[in-house]
Amino acid sequence: MTTTLITGGTVVSATGRAPADVLIDGETIRAVLEPGSNLLGTDVAASVDRVIDASGRYVIPGGIDAHTHMELPFGGTAASDTFETGTRAAAHGGTTSIIDFAVQTYGQRVQDGLAAWHQKAAGNCAIDYGFHQIVGGVDDDSLAAMRALPDEGVSSFKLFMAYPGVFYSDDAQILKAMQVARDTGMLTMMHAENGPAIDVLAQQLVDQGKTDPYYHGIARAWEMEEEATHRAIMLAKVTDAPLYVVHVSAKQAVEQLATARDKGWNVFGETCPQYLYLSLEDQLGAKSDEWGAFEGAKWVCSTPLRARADGHQHAMWQALRTNDLQMVSTDHCPFCMKDQKELGLADFRKIPNGIGSIEHRMDLMYQGVVTGEITLERWVELTSTTPARMFGLYGRKGVIQPGADADIVVYDPNGHTSIGVDKAHHMNMDYSAWEGYEIDGHVDTVLSRGKVIVDGDEYLGAKGDGRFLKRGLSQYLL
Ligand code: URP
Ligand code: ZN
Ligand code: ZN
Ligand code: ZN
């Protein structure tokens, strides 16, 4: 067992910051010490194998990305990051745990969908991983099977009000699934967009010859997100079950969440870096020499990027400050332009939905600290501590304290990170959704359960280092 001492840094938690040294014994944090605690002459000092100098740097709990889609089948193709490539990219970016979505599709048994995801991930991950369960076919069989999920360490499931014919659930199905959540203590995660109405709007745009990626954002209007968010909240309310809305992008959807929370209801939401920085005008509407107006396909995801002119991005930052949104996940679901996004060259509806950001979430959110949108402590809370609490990992993950897993990032606020497909990018994508972003800050050292897996820009981990995380019930409920 290796004993490691991280010295000279500032340990940051969700509630404060202080100079401190961190002593790690094997996979576990043993002590958080006064800076410069003189260990000489103690039996501890004799056995410290490695000292990591964190002077001038922040020492934070490893990032937890609670929304990823490795190898997700979508639109006749599959997300381009495997568990191996995607979790390695995550490690480079200071993320030490992911929660990915196991998929049950219509007609398939929930148990079989979950087993298939274990098969994909086992022995391949660079960092620890857990699963939520997508229930794409709610019926008596799947409802019964869902009741067994908490014992499997899968304490949350996702339903879709979008994608009719694929993952879609109607209101009756949602209500029944939420009743299972109420009975079992599971958390319902909702993709809140009115899919049937969006499909009509999309068809009408295509009929008018409006087939460019830009119209993906027009068809998926904010009204369709606000409406579905409201409906999801009321269905959760009537069943007395907690609700977690994923990938919130519309300011009106946030208003729905805020109104419910002001009433004391158990309603939560996440947003993603793309909804904080990117927009309908600048990205979905982009043109390039290489791709023309199809350039926008790089940023086709659902919910879509919203109009900056309408102030959605500003509203997302504000909601992160006011705790109307509690977390930032990536919704990492990468597709290459070549052969994948290209499937929708003639029709935006055929562009596989998703953006890859798993490597950049910690850096992109740290920019919010640099620009004064959020505090240093809120950065840690949004990216690590709340994800751990929300999804039943807290104590083991999300905090630097004795007894916790030694998942730790040494982050240099004076460092620099250039993002681009030819630069630091380790995701399996042939473009970057964040090309040209220059980050004030750098992930210097990453430890996963006590093992240094990233040192500078060098990867020192191995495929299979990551273990399955059996999660408990949410520790965040009001
Ligand atoms: O565009 C997205 N978000 N793709 C992944 C699937 C989902 O809806 O989260
Ligand atoms: Zn979704
Ligand atoms: Zn997703
Ligand atoms: Zn680097």
In this structure, is residue 475 part of a structural domain? no
Q: At residue 191, does pLDDT exceed 90?
A: yes
Give me the mean pLDDT over the 153-180 stretch: 97
Give me the mean pLDDT over the 118-139 stretch: 98
Say what the pLDDT of residue 47 is.
Answer: 79
In this structure, is residue 417 part of a structural domain? yes
Q: How many Cα atoms are found within 13 Å in the side-chain-facing hemisphere of 455?
A: 8
Distance CA 410, CA 425 (A): 19
Q: Which tens digits make up the pLDDT trace of 303-335?
A: 999 999 999 999 999 999 999 999 999 999 999
If asked whether residues 332 and 422 sit together in one domain, one would say no
Predicted confidence band at 425 (pLDDT cuts at 50, 70, 90)?
confident
Instruction: Give every strand in the sheet of 408-418, ordered side by side.
Output: 17-19, 10-12, 58-61, 408-418, 438-448, 451-455, 458-459
Q: At residue 441, does pLDDT exceed 90?
A: yes
Give me the mean pLDDT over the 236-254 stretch: 98
* Ligand 1 centroid to residue 64 C-alpha, Å: 18
Q: At residue 43, does pLDDT exceed 80?
A: no
Among 220, 272, 302, 305, name the best residue to mutate to test ligand 1's pocket (greatest count of ligand atoms within 8 A of Cβ).
Answer: 302
The answer to whether the CB of 465 falls within 8 A of the CB of 442 is no
If asked whether residues 268 and 312 sit together in one domain, one would say yes
Q: At residue 24, does pLDDT exceed 60?
A: yes
Residue 10 CB neighbours (<10 A) = 19
Q: At residue 36, does pLDDT exceed 80?
A: no
Q: Which ligand 1 atom is nearest residue 67's CA?
A: 9
The answer to whether the CB of 147 falls within 8 A of the CB of 183 is yes
At residue 450, what are phi and psi to the nearest 5 degrees?
A: 85, -15
* Ligand 3 centroid to residue 67 C-alpha, Å: 6
If asked whether residues 442 and 334 sit together in one domain, one would say no
Among 134, 189, 247, 355, name the best residue to mutate to test ligand 1's pocket (greatest count of ligand atoms within 8 A of Cβ).
Answer: 247
In this structure, is residue 193 part of a structural domain? yes
In this structure, is residue 469 part of a structural domain? no
Say what the pLDDT of residue 40 is.
Answer: 57
If asked whether residues 264 and 289 sit together in one domain, one would say yes
* Ligand 4 centroid to residue 353 C-alpha, Å: 28
In this structure, is residue 432 part of a structural domain? yes
Say what the pLDDT of residue 103 is.
Answer: 98
In this structure, is residue 468 part of a structural domain? no
Residue entry with tokens 């620890």: 128
Say what the pLDDT of residue 35 is.
Answer: 86
Q: What is the dihedral of CA 261, 241, 320, 223, to 10 degrees?
A: -80
In this structure, is residue 464 part of a structural domain? no
Give me the mean pLDDT over the 197-211 stretch: 98
Give me the mean pLDDT over the 434-461 stretch: 97
Residue ranges around ligand 1 (CB below 6 Å): 69, 191, 247, 301-302, 331, 333, 353-354
Predicted confidence band at 423 (pLDDT cuts at 50, 70, 90)?
confident
If asked whether residues 46 and 94 sit together in one domain, one would say no
Choose the final residue of a domain: 364, 390, 416.
Answer: 390
Say what the pLDDT of residue 41 is.
Answer: 56
Choose the final residue of a domain: 390, 420, 444.
Answer: 390
Give me the mean pLDDT over the 86-99 stretch: 98
**Angle subtended at Cα 302 by Cα 97 and Cα 86, rounded to the nearest 5 degrees:** 30
Say what the pLDDT of residue 105 is.
Answer: 94
Q: How far is CA 226 from the centre of its chain?
A: 21
Quick one: which of 184, 157, 185 has its CA closest to 173?
A: 157
Q: Which tens digits make up the pLDDT trace of 350-404?
A: 999 999 999 999 999 999 999 999 999 999 999 999 999 999 999 999 999 999 9
Q: At residue 150, does pLDDT exceed 60?
A: yes
If asked whether residues 19 and 100 sit together in one domain, one would say no
Q: What is the CATH number of the domain that holds 187?
A: 3.20.20.140
Q: Which tens digits make up the pLDDT trace of 334-346?
A: 999 999 999 999 9
**Angle subtended at Cα 31 by Cα 27 and Cα 36, rounded to the nearest 5 degrees:** 120
* Ligand 2 centroid to residue 308 C-alpha, Å: 21
Quick one: which of 291, 420, 319 has its CA closest to 363?
A: 420
Quick one: which of 60, 7, 94, 2 has its CA closest to 362?
A: 94
Q: At residue 46, does pLDDT exceed 70?
A: no
Give me the mean pLDDT over the 211-240 stretch: 98
In this structure, is residue 225 part of a structural domain? yes
Q: At residue 39, does pLDDT exceed 80?
A: no
Predicted confidence band at 231 (pLDDT cuts at 50, 70, 90)?
very high
User: Domains in the chain: how many in total?
Assistant: 2
Q: Which ligand 1 atom is nearest residue 163's CA?
A: 8
If asked whether residues 118 and 51 sit together in one domain, one would say no
Question: Which residue lies with its CA nearest to atom 7 of ligand 1?
Answer: 302
If asked whether residues 135 and 258 sit together in one domain, one would say yes
Q: What is the CATH number of the domain that holds 426?
A: 2.30.40.10
ipTM: 0.95
More confident residue, 2 or 287: 287
Pairing of strands 458-459, 451-455: antiparallel
Q: What is the dihedral of CA 298, 299, 303, 307, to 10 degrees?
A: -150
* Ligand 3 centroid to residue 343 C-alpha, Å: 20
- The overall longest dimension of the chain from CA atoms, in Å, is 79
Q: Which ligand 1 atom is nearest residue 302's CA?
A: 1
Predicted confidence band at 38 (pLDDT cuts at 50, 70, 90)?
low
- Specify the pTM: 0.98
Q: At residue 187, does pLDDT exceed 70?
A: yes
Helix/strand/coil (H/E/C) assignment for every residue in the chain: CCEEEEECCEEECCCCEEECEEEEECCEEEEEECCCCCCCCCHHHHCCCEEEECCCCEEEECEEEEEECCCCEECCEECCCCHHHHHHHHHHCCEEEEEEEEEECCCCCHHHHHHHHHHHHCCCCCCEEEEEEEECCCCHHHHHHHCCCHHHCCCEEEEECCCCCCCECCHHHHHHHHHHHHHHCCEEEEECCCHHHHHHHHHHHHHCCCCCCHHHHHHCCHHHHHHHHHHHHHHHHHHCCCEEECCCCCHHHHHHHHHHHHCCCCEEEEECHHHHHCCHHHHHCCCECCCEHHHHHHHCCCCCCCCHHHCHHHHHHHHHHHCCCCEECCCECCCCCCCCHHHHCCCHHHCCCCECCCCCHHHHHHHHHHCCCCCHHHHHHHHHHHHHHHCCCECCECCCCCCCECCEEEEEEEEEEECCCCCCCCCCCCCCCCCCCEEEEEEEEEEECCEEEEECCEECCCCCCCCECCCCCCCCCC
* Ligand 4 centroid to residue 362 C-alpha, Å: 12
If asked whether residues 183 and 279 sit together in one domain, one would say yes
451 lies in which domain range? 3-60+400-459
Predicted confidence band at 42 (pLDDT cuts at 50, 70, 90)?
low
Choose the final residue of a domain: 365, 390, 415.
Answer: 390
Predicted confidence band at 478 (pLDDT cuts at 50, 70, 90)?
low
Predicted confidence band at 471 (pLDDT cuts at 50, 70, 90)?
very high
If asked whether residues 307 and 455 sit together in one domain, one would say no
At residue 148, what are phi and psi to the nearest 5 degrees?
A: -90, -10
Q: What is the mean pLDDT of the chain?
A: 96
If asked whether residues 228 and 372 sit together in one domain, one would say yes
Among 101, 332, 353, name the best residue to mutate to test ligand 1's pocket (greatest count of ligand atoms within 8 A of Cβ).
Answer: 353
If asked whether residues 277 and 423 sit together in one domain, one would say no
